[in-house]
Amino acid sequence: MVKIAVYGKGGIGKSTTISNLSMALAEKGLKVMQIGCDPKADSTIKLHDGKRITTVLELLRTKGANASLDEMVVTGSGGVLCVEAGGPTPGMGCAGRGIIAAFDALEERDAFEIYKPDVVFYDVLGDVVCGGFAMPLRNGYADHVFVITSGENMAIYAAANIAMAVKNFSDRNYARLSGVILNKRGIENEEQKIRDFTAEIDSVVAGVLPFSPEVQKADQMNKTVIEAFPDSPMADEYRKLADSVLNLCKEG
């Protein structure tokens, strides 16, 4: 099982990228599980035609210990196994603690042993790398971390914080930083800027996603690019990135 945590600043296109990677790997016959770790609970929405699935925390609030694993794990497009951790009632709790509770619930129900996924993606908000948001880095949840960024300064700042957090855990044999994914936004010298950044943090560029109107069109259809436009050049970009991510994980 390859366990990958993907971090990035909010709005950087992280969930869109991960959902397309999940679909690309599912096309190869791999069993993929995608776990959304954002309180907005919209990581897997494009794998369900724009519909949000019931979150683990919602199930725990309404059913407690009676909440079953097959309610928490919902099959989406391409057979991708989808989980949304969810968040607390607004104003009533800590989002980070909510992620911890959701992870504990999955572990108590032997989620990985029962479903036996080949690849697990954790979709994690990267603006804050503390508490529950750091969970995928620790305790053996993820083995590899990839950071999605653009050439925008705030996105790079968030990526640098994530890289520092991973480095701080390096002496504990937790997840390692395996690469940076550039989601281009049309910034001047954007690709070189990110290559310089990855050299500074002693990492590599895992892939470069060009700007494509197909992403916006698929988004309006509430689908991934791979499902909406499977023969498009952008779908192939996601497939190429999926290969690169897996290869970097094998090297690590």
pLDDT in tens, 19-75: 999 999 999 999 999 999 888 889 999 999 999 999 999 999 999 999 999 999 999
Residue type, 156: I
Active-site annotation holder among 9, 38, 123, 223: 9
Domain that holds residue 184: 2-251
Mutual angle of helices 190-200 and 153-168, in 10-degree steps:
20
Active-site annotation holder among 31, 42, 118, 127: 127
Q: Count the domains in the chain.
A: 1
CATH number for position 122: 3.40.50.300
219 is known as an active-site residue:
no
Supply the DSSP symbol for 43: T
CA distances from 239 to 13, 65, 190, 217, 232 (A): 16, 39, 22, 18, 11
How far is Cα 159 from Cα 177, in angstroms, rounded to an integer? 11
Question: Which range (6-20, 78-92, 121-135, 159-173) has the least confidence?
Answer: 121-135
Is pLDDT of 145 > 60?
yes
Active-site annotation holder among 31, 40, 193, 217: 40
Task: State the pLDDT confidence band at 168, using cuts at 50, 70 and 90.
Answer: confident
pLDDT of residue 10: 85
Is pLDDT of 148 > 90?
yes
pLDDT of residue 165: 84
42 is known as an active-site residue:
no
pLDDT of residue 167: 83
Task: State the pLDDT confidence band at 77, using cuts at 50, 70 and 90.
Answer: very high
How far is Cα 85 from Cα 40, in angstroms, rounded to an integer? 9
9 is known as an active-site residue:
yes
> What are the structure tokens assigned to 133, written together?
């948001």
Task: State the pLDDT confidence band at 251, using cuts at 50, 70 and 90.
Answer: confident
pTM equals 0.93
Quick: pLDDT tens for 169-188: 766 667 889 999 999 998 89
Is pLDDT of 151 > 60?
yes
β-sheet with 205-209: strand ranges across: 74-75, 81-84, 32-36, 119-125, 2-8, 144-149, 176-183, 205-209
Is pLDDT of 211 > 60?
yes
167 is known as an active-site residue:
no
Task: Please list, in sequence order, all residues whose beta carbon lies within 8 angstroms of the beta carbon of residue 107, skipping any fewer than 6 positions away.
Answer: none
Q: CB–CB of 110/70 below 8 Å?
A: no
- For strand 74-75 and strand 81-84, is the pairing parallel, antiparallel, or unpaired? antiparallel
Task: State the pLDDT confidence band at 135, using cuts at 50, 70 and 90.
Answer: low
Distance of CA 65 to the CA centre of its chain: 27
pLDDT of residue 139: 65
